[in-house]
Amino acid sequence: MLPPTSEAALDTLRRYTLHESPTGDRRALDALADVLDADAARAGFDTARVSHPTGDHLVWTLAARDVPGGPVLFLTHYDTVWPVGTLSGMPWSVDGDTVRGPGVYDTKAGIVALLAAVARVRMRGAPHPELRVVVAADEEIGSPTATELVRAEAVRARAVLGLEPPHPGGDLKTGRRGSTRVRVEVTGVEAHAALDPDAGTNAIDELVDQLVRLRGLVAGRPILLNTGTIAGGGRTNVVAAAAHADLGLRFTDPRDEEAVLAALRSPRPVREGARVGARLLSHRPTWRTGGSDVELLDRVVRIAAGLGQRLTGRPADGAADTNTTGALDRPTVDGLAPPGGGAHARHEWVSAAGIAARTELLAALITGLHPAAA
């Protein structure tokens, strides 16, 4: 039998999961946002929204209690990779410690744990710094509209705690690859492919050459390059006049990042008549672990040890909004959502006991990260 707090948390997570919330689906996101704001208000937060046509970003504030100075900033998101209707083939279920459903691990359980932790801190009347929470609506596609909000909130934060899923086993994340989504666009010249092919410039051929050139630039560097989509042309008897490709790039070194992005900003056509451009779809800079991150991790690890929880931290390959804060040299630790597995996969799951453990840890961090508690 799960303890009462875990039963309540599971009921909350079930409500959030049944509100499917894919990125960009404004109606679905709005429905869940209303539920989240209401729960945040009950936990003690003042709630506000930063409006955007594809989904509002939620900003929650809890005033400080007897602790001066800058806020602790929590980062999370309520969008998922799963379209509305996924529940029919991937239903909510609880089997012992295993909780399944679209978005339970990435990262609705993290929101559940945070709200439960804040409610616990307020019930105890414990001193704590100001808390700010950004709940992004488009994190799963690189936060193209949330990044500026995250950057603005990070500037005055004393520490940033990310509620993304942890490493397998529950360990925390202390650095992230830079992540950039780019669309390479080519314009050519249409012509009859048989009667007058030399009068045309094939945009698809130019795009292929541009991708080969980019592969050459990336070769030998610790960069991940994935060509995610390609589109262009229309008929086999017409020289293609337009083509584009969407690329995903991951970096571990800011110098490699700048070299590749500089090349993409000033592309040179291979063939006469072609025009080539590149457009950033989203950009998260490389977060390399710094001294302030290590100090924050040490504090988190000590506080966790006091609860009987053994944790450590290491960099992660995936990207998140903590890329932005870490690159700004704000003390940042991520991976504080409950442990589980299968992010973006049909077997996605989260640990019920892990929700309770992370709730306990987050409550201790809220009251224990300020200097007076050290």
Confidence band, pLDDT 50/70/90 cuts, at residue 101? very high
- pLDDT tens sequence across 177-195: 999 999 999 999 999 999 9
pLDDT in tens, 262-300: 999 999 999 999 999 999 999 999 999 999 999 999 999
Among 172, 45, 168, residue whose Cα is nearest residue 114 = 45
Q: Check if 4-177+287-373 and 178-284 are the same fold.
A: no
Percent of the chain with pLDDT over 70: 98
pLDDT in tens, 218-238: 999 999 999 999 999 999 999
- Which whole number is the average pLDDT over 193-217? 97
**pLDDT value of residue 5:** 54
Measured distance between the N- and C-terminal CA atoms of the chain, rounded to whole angstroms: 36
pLDDT tens per residue across span 103-118: 999 999 999 999 999 9
Q: Which residues contact 299 (CB under 8 A, 6 or more apart)?
A: 368, 369, 374
Structural contact between residues 118 and 176, judged by C-beta atoms closer than 8 angstroms: no
CB of 208 closer than 8 Å to CB of 245: no
pLDDT of 3 over the 60 cut: no
pLDDT per position as a tens digit, 343-355: 999 999 999 999 9
CA 112 to chain centre: 17
All structural domains of the chain with their residue ranges: 4-177+287-373, 178-284
Mean pLDDT value across residues 155-174: 97
Average pLDDT over residues 57-70: 97
Average pLDDT estimate for 147-173? 97
Q: What is the pLDDT of residue 370?
A: 76
What is the number of other CB atoms lying within 10 angstroms of the CB of residue 298?
Answer: 12
What backbone torsions phi and psi does residue 171 show, to the nearest 5 degrees? Answer: -70, 160
Q: How confident is the model over 232-259, as a mean pLDDT?
A: 96
Q: How far apart are CA 294 and CA 314, in angstroms?
A: 10
Q: From 3.40.630.10, 3.40.5.10, 3.40.640.10, 3.40.50.300, which CATH number describes the 4-177+287-373 domain?
A: 3.40.630.10
pLDDT at 171 (0 to 100): 98
Statement: 178-284 belongs to CATH 3.30.70.360: yes
pLDDT, average across residues 324-347 = 97
Whole-angstrom Cα distance, residue 332 to residue 338?
18
The DSSP call for residue 140 is G
pLDDT value, residue 374: 61
